[in-house]
Chains A and B, each alone.
Chain A
Amino acid sequence: MTEMKTSISGAKLAPGSNLKKLSAKASAQQRTSWYLVSPLVMVLGFFLVLPILTIVIVSFWDYNDYNFFPAFVFENYAYLLTSPVTLATYLKTFKFMILVWIFCTTIGFTIAYFLAFHVRTLPMQITLFLICTVPFWTSNIIRMISWIPFLGRNGLANSALINTGVIDQPLDWLLFSDFAVVLAFVHLYCLFMVVPVFNTMMRIDKSLIEAARDAGASNFQILTNVIIPLTKPGIMIGSIFVVTLVMGDFITVRFMSGGQSASVGRVISNEIALLQYPAAAASAVVLLITVLIMIGIMMRFVDIRKEL
Chain B
Amino acid sequence: MSALELIATTKTYGEIVAVDAIDYKFASGTYSCLLGPSGCGKSSTLRMIAGHETVSGGDIILGGINITDLPPAARGTAMMFQDYALFPHLSVIDNVAFSQKMQGIQKATRRARAMELLELVDMQEYAERIPDQLSGGQQQRVALARALITEPSILLLDEPLSALDPFLRIKMRAELKKLQRSLGISFIHVTHSQDEALALADQIIVMNNAVIEQSGSPMEVFNKPNSEFVAKFIGGHNVLPTDAGKIAIRTDRIKIQKDKAKGSMSAIIRDVEFLGSTVNVAMDAGSRGEVVASVTDSIFYNQPMEIGETVFLKWNKKDAHRLAE
Contacts and interface: CB of A to CB of B under 8 A. Distances in A.
Contacts, number: 60
B88 A230 contact: yes
A205 interface: yes
Interface string B88-107: 11000000001101110000
Given A216-B102, A221-B102, A226 B87 contact: yes
Listed from nearest, the 7 A-B pairs whose CB atoms lie closest are A216-B73, A215-B99, A211-B85, A207-B85, A217-B102, A229-B89, A214-B72
Interface in A192-215: 205, 207-208, 210-215
Nearest to A217: B102
Contacts of B78: 214
B85 A205 contact: yes
Given A210-B79, A215-B73, 11 more contacts: A207-B83, A210-B85, A211-B85, A212-B102, A214-B51, A214-B147, A216-B72, A217-B98, A217-B99, A225-B98, A229-B89
Given A205-B85, A226-B87, A215 B71 contact: no
Nearest to B79: A214
Interface in B37-92: 50-52, 71-74, 78-79, 81-83, 85-89
A215 B150 contact: yes
B102 A207 contact: no
Contacts of B147: 214
A213 B89 contact: no
B82 to A, nearest CB: 7
B11 interface: no
A209 B315 CA distance: 54
Given A207-B83, A214-B52, A230 B89 contact: yes
Interface string B177-213: 0000000000000000000000000000000000000
A178 to B, nearest CB: 37
Interface residues of A, number: 17
8 contacts: A211-B146, A214-B72, A214-B78, A214-B79, A215-B73, A215-B102, A216-B150, A226-B87
A225 B101 CA distance: 10
Interface of B: 50-52, 71-74, 78-79, 81-83, 85-89, 98-99, 101-103, 146-147, 150
B103 A207 contact: no
Contact of A208 (B52, B79, B87, B102): B87
A31 B50 CA distance: 61
Contact of A225 (B50, B86, B102): B102
A163 B214 CA distance: 73
Given A210-B52, A230-B89, A215 B98 contact: yes
Interface string A51-82: 00000000000000000000000000000000
Given A205-B85, A225-B102, A213 B146 contact: no
A215 B81 contact: no
A197 B276 CA distance: 55
A208 B50 CA distance: 15
A205 B98 contact: no
B89 A207 contact: no
A257 to B, nearest CB: 41
B291 to A, nearest CB: 43
A162 B51 CA distance: 52
A96 to B, nearest CB: 32
Given A214-B79, A216-B102, A225-B101, A208 B73 contact: no
Contacts of A208: 85, 87
A214 B72 CA distance: 5
A212 B83 contact: no
A213 B72 contact: yes
Interface in A224-264: 225-226, 229-230
A213 B71 CA distance: 8
Contacts of A229: 89
Contacts of A215: 73, 98-99, 102, 146, 150
Nearest to A232: B89
Nearest to B50: A214
A210 B147 CA distance: 12
A80 B204 CA distance: 80
Contacts of B87: 208, 211-212, 226
B130 to A, nearest CB: 12
Contacts of B52: 210, 213-214
Q: Residue among A212, A213, A216, A217 with the most chain B CB within 10 A?
A: A216
B232 to A, nearest CB: 31
A221 B98 CA distance: 11
B13 to A, nearest CB: 12
A218 B86 CA distance: 18
Nearest to B97: A215
A210 B150 CA distance: 15
